Amino acid sequence: MYVKSTPPATNHSLAMSILESHLKGALRPDFSWGYATAAAQIEGAWNVDGKGESIWDRLGHTPGKIKDSSTADDATRAYDFYKEDVALMKSYGVRAYRFSLAWSRIIPLGGKDDPVNPKGIEFYNNLINELIANGIVPFVTLFHWDIPQALEDRYGGMLNKEKYTPDFLRYARVCFEAFGDRVKNWITYNEPGVYSLAGYAAGVHAPGRSSNRELNEEGDSSTEPFIVSHTELVSHAYCVKMYREDFKPTQKGTIMITLHGNYSTPWDDTDPLDIEAAQRAREFEIAWFGDPVYKTGDYPASMRAQLGDRLPRFTEEESKLVLGSSDFYGMNSYTTFFVKHKKTPPEPKDHVGNVEKLDTNSKGESRGPESDTYWLRTNPWGLRQLLNWIWNRYKVPIFMTENGTTAKGEHVDAPPSEDILNDKHRIEFFNGYLNALAGAVKEDGVDIRSYFVWTFTDNWEWAAGYTDRFGVTWIDYNSPEKKRYPKKSATVVRELFEHLIAKE
């Protein structure tokens, strides 16, 4: 049987859900909540029905690039089992589902003059229709890191803004025309900064470029991440202009960009240098994209001061176009770091603001309980601080589009025990973070309109392969059908939102 048809029994889950009475009904009645995924991580069918090769297909098939030597050739087979997945999501009680489109499934070679793949359009039409038939609102991301490999080969992808932008706009237009009559919530780019830094600074993500010649044959970590990010911002802005002029009048949808950003707090909260360093770290990570889009039309002064001409400059036209180019603030966040000022000059490869990020502060206090992912620790206080920081800086309604955690001990053989499915660490994470979010709304006045859990099922977690399990649904990767087993956290998340969302 493909799906274990019912979520875990709820007899213990009520005791595990921390339902704060003062936060009952804190969230608006039309609050959107559900799960987020990315095409490259779940769909599989990587070369089926006319799909072209993406940069992640290429990287996954390159020996030594993925932690467990796996590929996403099959992933969770969401391409084959989308109907069953939608049924499972419905059983979880979700209101919305955020997913991405695979550019190379829609336009296999990616370019503005390349043919569209009818089978790709058909698949996403079927998925969208299935969601709507089950009362689930689609939130669609155009780009979640998987540029067609053909564009990388032709002209270096996003390193060439002039050639890339028309290709991206044509792809976006095809999507708006095919799906915009039903899709009313669009996201242009997912975490443009992570795409740039992991792919062009560290070189561990596709397309795998950096200054580290032991790891990557090509690349310049000191310049390319900023060039690529500039391309993302400018092409995003042109895409939004196109949507607003050509599609919004009839389709009546909204469009935004989703930015990453974890909270940075001072290592020593009495040291002015550490206080300044934490602010600088937030600007390098978040305001890098947030300020051009929501505040000034330009990069933060702290970045220009450190990076100089390595940071591209917007033309006057680009600056005007980028500023105000997102209807809402799309926000992905997971954890918090203690930040310490570095007393040495910044190195050319520094992308974080010349700071040191630490797990404990000057008092020896930990930033939170460990997950199964080295950088990710639970810190609800930091999320609330970050929500306030973003709201106070930009005053734009926030859509939280990703938040979640891994949990230790989930790498077991199928079938997973009830103990594994009773994922207490993840449950504690969601209890803390969702109550923090509701507190930010009710007590701090932050305008928050959605929350999407990362993620619906365990999946192919990029360069980590199948070694990171973020899902509220456990996947048996050894079974041909990638059998799904719901975890208790899926029930707890539902109960929390039933408590936190105000009734009509």
**If phi over 0 gives left and psi between -120 and 50 gives alpha, with beta otherwise, what is residue 82?**
alpha
pLDDT at position 4: 43
- Residue 334 is predicted with a pLDDT of 98
Q: Is the pLDDT of residue 12 over 70?
A: no
Q: Going by C-beta distance under 8 Å and a sequence separation of 6 or more, which residues neighbour residue 261?
A: 282, 285, 286, 290, 331, 332, 333, 386, 390
User: Is 245 designated active site?
Assistant: no
Model pLDDT, residue 195: 98
Q: Which residue has the higher pLDDT, 425 or 16?
A: 425
Q: Where are the beta strands (DSSP E) in 183-335?
A: 185-190, 254-260, 263-266, 329-332
Instruction: Specify the DSSP element, H or E, that contains 354.
Output: none
The domains located in the chain, with CATH, are 13-500 (3.20.20.80)
- Which residue's structure tokens are 């999501």? 89
Transcribe 70-107 into DSSP letters. Answer: --SSSTT-TTTSHHHHHHHHHHHT-SEEEEE--HHHHS
> Phi/psi of residue 122, each to 5°?
-60, -45
Distance of CA 415 to the CA centre of its chain: 29
Q: How far apart are CA 461 and CA 468, in angstroms?
A: 6
Give the global pTM. Answer: 0.96
Strands of the sheet with 355-358, listed across from one edge: 263-266, 336-341, 355-358
Give the other-Cβ count within 10 Å of 138's Cβ. 22
Between strands 484-486 and 473-475, the pairing is antiparallel
Residue 146: its pLDDT value, please? 98
Closest residue by Cα to residue 486 from 460, 456, 453: 456
| 379-388 pLDDT, tens digit each | 999 999 999 9
Q: Tell me the pLDDT tens digit for each residue of 271-289.
A: 999 999 999 999 999 999 9
Residue 381 is encoded by which pair of tokens?
């206080």
191 annotated active-site:
yes
How confident is residue 504, by pLDDT bands cut at 50, 70 and 90?
confident
pLDDT value at 2 more than 70: no
Residue 155: strand, helix, or coil: helix
Task: State the chain's mean pLDDT as an integer.
Answer: 96
Residue from 43, 285, 402, 461 carrying the catalytic annotation: 402
Planar angle of CA 455, 464, 283, nearest 5 degrees: 70
Q: Does the pLDDT at position 15 exceed 60?
A: no
Q: Alpha-carbon distance 45 to 169, whole Å?
A: 25
| Residue closest to 79 by CA, chosen among 124, 121, 35, 109 | 124
Q: How far apart are CA 491 and CA 15, in angstroms?
A: 12
Q: Which residues pair with 501 in a beta bridge?
A: 27
Do residues 228 and 199 lie in contact, with contact meaning Cβ atoms separated by under 8 Å? yes
| CA distance linking residue 499 with residue 494, whole number of Å | 9
Report the percentage of the chain scoring pLDDT > 70: 97
Q: Give the pairing of strands 137-143 and 96-100.
A: parallel
Helix axes 161-179, 224-246, angle to 10 degrees: 40
Residue 338 β-bridge partners: 265, 358
What confidence tens digit (pLDDT) does each residue in 82-133 have?
999 999 999 999 999 999 999 999 999 999 999 999 999 999 999 999 999 9
pLDDT tens, 202-241?
999 999 999 999 999 999 999 999 999 999 999 999 999 9
* Residue carrying the six token digits 């935004």: 256
**Number of alpha carbons in the 13 Å side-chain half-sphere of residue 150:** 16
CA distance 446 to 466: 36
- What is the distance between the alpha carbons of residues 240 and 114, in angstroms, rounded to a whole number? 22
Which structure tokens are listed for 177?
A: 């025309």
Split at pLDDT 50, 70, 90, the class of 320 is very high
Query: How big is the CA angle at 5 (ends 499 and 413), to the nearest 5 degrees?
Result: 105
Catalytic residue among 43, 191, 285, 428: 191
> What's the rounded Cα separation, in Å, for the pair 110 and 106?
8
C-alpha separations of 236 from 66, 172, 187, 324, 352 in Å: 29, 10, 9, 11, 23
